Structure formats: C-alpha cells, structure tokens
Amino acid sequence: MVTRSRLRVDRGVNQVIVRFLDRELFDDATVRSVSDQLLRLTEEMTSGSVLVLDLSGVYSVSSNLLGRLILVHRRLQASGSRLVLCELTENVAALLKSASLDRFFHIYHNRTEALERGPAESV
C-alpha cells in the first residue's frame, strides 16, 4: 500500500523546510503518517543542519503530534542538528503556549527569521 506524502519538503544547503499539506493534524492515521515522515527526515539530516517546520496552513494539532514533535526535536539535538517552528497559526500558537511548549521549541514569525536567527534567539 502506497502512503501519500503529507509534507512538502524543500531541501537546501544544511536546511530542510517542511510545509504540512493537511490543515488538521489530529486523527491517528494522519499523525502517524506525518510523524513517520518527519522521523525519516531526521535520519537524513547532517550535524549543523536545521529542520524548519512551517505551520502556516495548520489549524489543529493533537497532543499526540506534539509528543512526536518533541521526539523529533530530541533526535535532531542528539545528532547536532536543530528543529525550529515558524508561521504558527493562532490556534497552534495557543496550544503550544497552553502546554508550555512555546518555551521548549524555537519559534519564529516566518521562514526568513527561522533560517537567519537560529534557535539561540527564539521569540
């Protein structure tokens, strides 16, 4: 069975930018597919690279997905890479704040900031 990609992936030098194709990342099948694809991407990342998750089109995420994003973040850290989030919708930003994950993840307003400033200067 072929699984369709739920991500749009743009690769550059030491950077991978991911945009989600689903507006809702909530049901188990979607979360499993997205997290599997993200975890595969972490295996391809080299030390010093950055994985940018552009959440501009995402309006709903599950707590299960948040847990998977924490796993992705930790795997990237362990390999010397980093994860940053950008373009959060109000709903997603509120959810991250309510779970105190706005302090855990490196969050930027847009892709340019995410790529230029890096996690040392998160907003």
Beta-bridge mates of residue 47: none
Mean of the pLDDT values across residues 89-98?
96
Pairing state between β 106-108 and 60-61:
unpaired
Provide the whole-model pTM. Answer: 0.90
Beta bridge partners of 70: none
User: pLDDT grade, residue 115 (50/70/90)?
Assistant: confident
Cβ neighbours around 118 below 10 Å, total? 14
The whole-angstrom separation of Cα 106 and Cα 113 is: 11
Q: Kindly tell me if the per-residue pLDDT of 119 is higher than 80.
A: no
Domains of the chain (ranges, CATH numbers): 7-121 (3.30.750.24)
Nearest partner of 115 among 87, 89, 90, 92, judged by Cα: 87
CA 8 to chain centre: 12
pLDDT of residue 4: 61
For residue 15, what are the β-bridge partners? Answer: 12, 50
Q: Which pLDDT tens digit goes with each residue over 57-90? A: 999 999 999 999 999 999 999 999 999 999 999 9
CA distance 77 to 98: 24
